[in-house]
Structure 1
Amino acid sequence: MPHPRLILAQVLTQAAAPDAPEPHAESVGAEAALVDAGRVLAVGSRTELSARAPGAEVLDHRDLLLTPGLCDAHTHLVTYGFTLSQLGLHGVRSVAEVQRRLAERAACTAPGQWIQGGSFLLSEMGLSGYPSAADLDAVSPHHPVALFSRDLHLLWANSRALELAGIHAGTPDPQGGQIVRTPGLGTLLENACALVARVIPEPSDAEFLAAARAADSDLRARGFVSTHTMAFEPPQAALALQELDRRGELGLRVWACLPHTELDTAARLGLGGSGGGSRFQWGGVKFFSDGALGSRTAWMHAPGYADGSGTGISVDSPELILERGRRALELGLVPITHAIGDRANTEVLKVYQQLRPLADARGLRLRIEHAQHLRAEDLPLFRGLIASLQPSQMPGDAALIHELLPHREDLSFASRSLLNHGAVLAFGSDAPVVPPSAQENFRASVTRTGEGGLQIAPGEALTPEEVLWAHTRGPAIAAGWSDEGWIRPGVRAAFTLWDRLGGEAKALVL
């Protein structure tokens, strides 16, 4: 039987209403929270709460700060779980280092088996162009190799993988994608990545379940109590999360998105805003307006990239986003659009202006993922929208922004400007693009400092309290959760314990 628990800690609560989400945190001067049956009963002094529930179990965390539980508002959750056991290339500084790590993995992998991994950045490897299959063939000719860039918009494959995918010099580019042909085959951009991805053997149901479990455990160990998982995964990923939920093993609360290509399936199954379990919920429909900065596929207004590499790629057209976004809203699902370049954001904002009346009527907030590079004239159109940002990506992108987009540097990762123009901030990581770390989001948002000490738009800095809000109440508003993101009677008993704000953290869900 449930029984009351009295948590002793320095309690920090949120004080912002969903319809007026000015981010700030305030201490209520409380030293305890009383919970029972998974809900907060009261917040106050130890004396008054002990008198209210004299038999309550005491959890003594008096040296720690208790805040609403952290949410990572942008993950690809099960994919992240798989990467925990794949070839990790985060931070590699040269093609030679990739080759060394790949050779080590190949030596302990049976011939013919796929080697998957990634999380590299071309800029960190000192490349101004694209790598080729020959670089990977040199150390792994007998294993098909598929390595995704950190932003997941570029796939680096060896000759064996290209052969299995049927890709050769005469293969045409797919719509919304590009097969790079210089200095040789091996790099695939945007939708072209699927040409290789589709021939990689599909994991078993047991492997999907293991990856879901690994991701769930990893995020909770980092202090998160919930996440929004952003599609771009096989259907079995969501099925694995739902199975964990059905078994009562899902520790995170999960708000999930469908790819827009599955809208007809969603309609047939009646998935709009539902989940069928206690912690898993369908909530959004995902679109991609463009690519990513590191792959030079983010869609930019002219003049585009300063190195002359063009203006990027438009993936899902504005017309498609408008048509299917309207359908999503009619099903009670939130249109969520990936938009990194300034042109991508402009076009999505135009579409959203047409969708706003229907969204408002449905009580749903339209949402843009990343909103990474903006024009000043577009900022007012963000009022009331969800701006889902990943500040922890800024340090790795700082040099690229400085080099490729000097004319947009002042409004890159523009947290302060978005906040001032009425956007609802929701912070995440985009794991596996970068590890899910609230601490890195705190550091990047407050210092605005990239690798090598390069500062990007220091005027866009936030306070630690504002970052906390964007990791707690902001994501809750985005998901329509009135019972999460603050500590008050009736909300879910899901907290994060800190040694200090932005320091070491751990989840506490009761």
Structure 2
Amino acid sequence: MDEDNPTAESLAVKDGRFMAVGTRAEIDALRGAGTQVFDHRDAVITPGFIDAHTHPAGAGVRELKDVNVDVRSIAEIKDRMAARARETPPGEWIRGFKYDDTKLAEGRPLNRLDLDEAVPDHPAVVGHRGGHTSVYNSRAFALAEVTAETPDPPGGKFYREDGELTGLVAERANYIISRLIPGTHTDDDRQAGVKLITELMAQAGLTSFHDAGTSSSSVRAYSAAYRNGELSCRVYMMMRGAYEDLRQAGVSTGLGDEWLRVGGVKYGADGSASERTMRMSTPYVGRPDDYGILTMTREAIHDVVEVAHRSGWQVGIHANGDVTIGMVLDAYERVQELWPRPDPRHRIEHCSLVNPDLLARIKAVGAVPTPFYTYAHYHGNKWVEYGPEKMEWMFAHRSFLDYGIPVAPASDYTPGPYEPLMAIQSMVTRRDFEGRVWGPSQRITVPEAMRICTMGGAYASFEEDIKGSVTVGKLADFVVLAADPHDVDPDGIKEIPVVRTVAGGRVTWEG
């Protein structure tokens, strides 16, 4: 996918970079000490895939320590939570993760009474895979002294039905309860989680990712895994917890090397697309008074953007809804007018619901949107709450490209699957897992989707000169596929096996 050399038979790697790309005869002549030759005669080589917005450090340790409830019924969730409770001393927290409310056989969401039945003797929480809502049992609410009469905090919500708590808690209201959960994960746990999750991501063909909201403990975990040779993907760390100390020390975006680099600073300004809490100018279908949730005020957005921009940092703000995207653009336009910087590449994380005015402003200010790349396919059951009209402007890959906006690939894992081949299928077909098509006007071609998943990710981290294509001199990050995504039925792209993943000439996965 080097535009000057789009196809090749073989390639040579030296010192972790592409030394030559060409015919088998040309590359065979370069064999020698220190030179690796890769020639997959019956397979397809693509650049290494990049996920420009994901949360793997936290996901990795949860895979090791918490209860995975990525199942298809409330009964199964209850069984898994109850099984963990039986082996846990009474009073200790039981934590579930990767719950999806729209994929359950019972046709309804999990609630407080379900968890009370499954886990009567422990406080319990089940986190939605979207990361913005959780379901708690009665013991958890009692510990936090939250009742049906407790007022909703700014930027959060306790959901009620018939005057009683349902168990569902959204956004900043979560902190009132979750702050009581002891921090039991050690640095060794987190390092093991990083090792596991980067191995799994490499199996899917990922060679780099951007951790969107890196904590101090995650920095330690990535650093330890890197030192021990256990890091299977390159990491661009978008700071959260460690940001202020780094900024005060004079550190800014770009410090590090090709494996572990300080990225931008990450903030969150509204709710979730998959959990139907993002802030919009029009209400959700069937909920005429519900426009979603803002988690930052306009003033707070302006304040954090000004400080970071003037300190030399790239800024990435989670903004799903059109209202929130407009607020973020106001802040980006202001700082560029008052304190102009060449090419700051500030980002709009998710940038889910747009319109022509927002697209023109994104282009003018040079912002980089990171829309969800697997959502159209994976989360199809949720889009009825937005309706077909909004879906023509959500995850707007076609519109971004048509406006000449550099768009980055993003799974937001765990909220969305990180598999790049599913992402390519999703962007190309806009067809969900049950066969429905959402927002067909936003379909793009396979070559466009491939470029987003490679060069688009590299551009978002200022690394387009060193990664994102199979080009002489660039990092030798590439993937070997059993079939060419350009040639198969688009609805079968996600089924293509990943044969091998290579980062810097090192094989990180081989099937």
* Cα distance change on mapping 1:136 and 1:309 into 2, 3 Å: farther
User: Could you tell me how far 1:318 is from its partner in structure 2?
Assistant: 2.6
SS of 1:361 mapped into structure 2: coil
Name the counterpart of 1:417.
399
Bigger mean CA offset, 400-409 vs 203-212:
400-409
**Cα distance in 1, alignment partners of residues 283 and 149 from structure 2:** 31
* Cα distance change on mapping 1:359 and 1:87 into 2, 3 Å: farther
Residue 325, structure 1, aligned to residue 305, structure 2: yes
1:262-311 Cα deviation digits (max 9, x unpaired): 54322223331244455111111112121013433210103454432511
Residue 137, structure 1, aligned to residue 116, structure 2: yes
Q: Which residues in structure 2 correspond to 1:177-216 (within 5 Å)?
A: 177-182=156-161, 184-185=164-165, 186-202=167-183, 203-216=185-198
Residue 272 of structure 2, aligned match among 269, 279, 292: 292
8 A Cα contact 2:50 2:453, kept in partner: yes
8 A Cα contact 1:382 1:422, kept in partner: no
Name the counterpart of 1:21.
none
8 A Cα contact 2:10 2:40, kept in partner: no
Residue 96 of structure 2, aligned match among 117, 122, 126: 117
Report sequence identity in percent. Answer: 28
> Which one-letter code corresponds to 2:121 in the other structure?
H
Bigger mean CA offset, 316-325 vs 128-137:
128-137
**Cα distance in 2, alignment partners of residues 123 and 219 from structure 1:** 25
8 A Cα contact 1:130 1:187, kept in partner: no
Q: Which residues in structure 2 correspond to 1:167-186 (within 5 Å)?
A: 167-182=146-161, 184-185=164-165, 186=167
**Cα distance in 2, alignment partners of residues 53 and 331 from structure 1:** 47
Name the counterpart of 1:257.
238
Residue 50, structure 1, aligned to residue 32, structure 2: no
8 A Cα contact 1:382 1:418, kept in partner: no
Bigger mean CA offset, 97-106 vs 218-227:
97-106
Residue 238, structure 1, aligned to residue 226, structure 2: no
Name the counterpart of 2:79.
100
8 A Cα contact 1:430 1:436, kept in partner: yes
Name the counterpart of 1:504.
497
1:171-221 Cα deviation digits (max 9, x unpaired): 443321112233533221101112222222211111111111111211112
1:418-441 Cα deviation digits (max 9, x unpaired): 111122121121111133211211
**Cα distance in 2, alignment partners of residues 165 and 248 from structure 1:** 42
* Cα distance change on mapping 1:266 and 1:362 into 2, 3 Å: farther
1:477-499 Cα deviation digits (max 9, x unpaired): 10011200012121111111111
Q: How many residues align?
A: 485
User: Could you tell me how far 1:71 is from its partner in structure 2?
Assistant: 0.9
SS of 1:454 mapped into structure 2: coil
**Cα distance in 1, alignment partners of residues 392 and 69 from structure 2:** 30
8 A Cα contact 1:289 1:318, kept in partner: no
Name the counterpart of 1:442.
424
* Cα distance change on mapping 1:329 and 1:428 into 2, 3 Å: same
**Cα distance in 1, alignment partners of residues 96 and 269 from structure 2:** 25
Q: Which residues in structure 2 correspond to 1:238-387 (within 5 Å)?
A: 238-259=219-240, 263-276=243-256, 279-357=259-337, 361-383=341-363, 384-387=366-369
SS of 1:411 mapped into structure 2: coil
**Cα distance in 2, alignment partners of residues 110 and 171 from structure 1:** 29
Name the counterpart of 1:488.
471
Bigger mean CA offset, 177-186 vs 152-161:
177-186
Name the counterpart of 2:17.
39
* Cα distance change on mapping 1:53 and 1:128 into 2, 3 Å: closer
**Cα distance in 2, alignment partners of residues 172 and 187 from structure 1:** 14
> Which one-letter code corresponds to 1:435 in the other structure?
P
8 A Cα contact 1:246 1:277, kept in partner: no
> Which one-letter code corresponds to 2:359 in the other structure?
L
User: Could you tell me how far 1:314 is from its partner in structure 2?
Assistant: 1.0
**Cα distance in 2, alignment partners of residues 35 and 320 from structure 1:** 48
SS of 1:14 mapped into structure 2: coil
Q: Which residues in structure 2 correspond to 1:148-159 (within 5 Å)?
A: 148-159=127-138
Gaps of 5+ in 2: 486-492, 506-511
Gaps of 5+ in 1: 1-12, 16-25
1:88-125 Cα deviation digits (max 9, x unpaired): 233524x3342233223333444333222222233334
Residue 75, structure 1, aligned to residue 29, structure 2: no
**Cα distance in 2, alignment partners of residues 421 and 388 from structure 1:** 15
1:110-163 Cα deviation digits (max 9, x unpaired): 433322222223333489987542220111111221111121110111122223
SS of 1:82 mapped into structure 2: helix
**Cα distance in 1, alignment partners of residues 135 and 206 from structure 2:** 32
Name the counterpart of 1:14.
2
**Cα distance in 1, alignment partners of residues 111 and 139 from structure 2:** 12
> Which one-letter code corresponds to 2:2 in the other structure?
Q
User: Could you tell me how far 1:453 is from its partner in structure 2?
Assistant: 1.7
**Structure-2-length-normalised TM-score:** 0.88
Bigger mean CA offset, 314-323 vs 465-474:
314-323
User: Could you tell me how far 1:32 is from its partner in structure 2?
Assistant: 1.6
**Cα distance in 2, alignment partners of residues 114 and 101 from structure 1:** 14
Name the counterpart of 1:10.
none
8 A Cα contact 2:82 2:118, kept in partner: yes
SS of 1:84 mapped into structure 2: helix
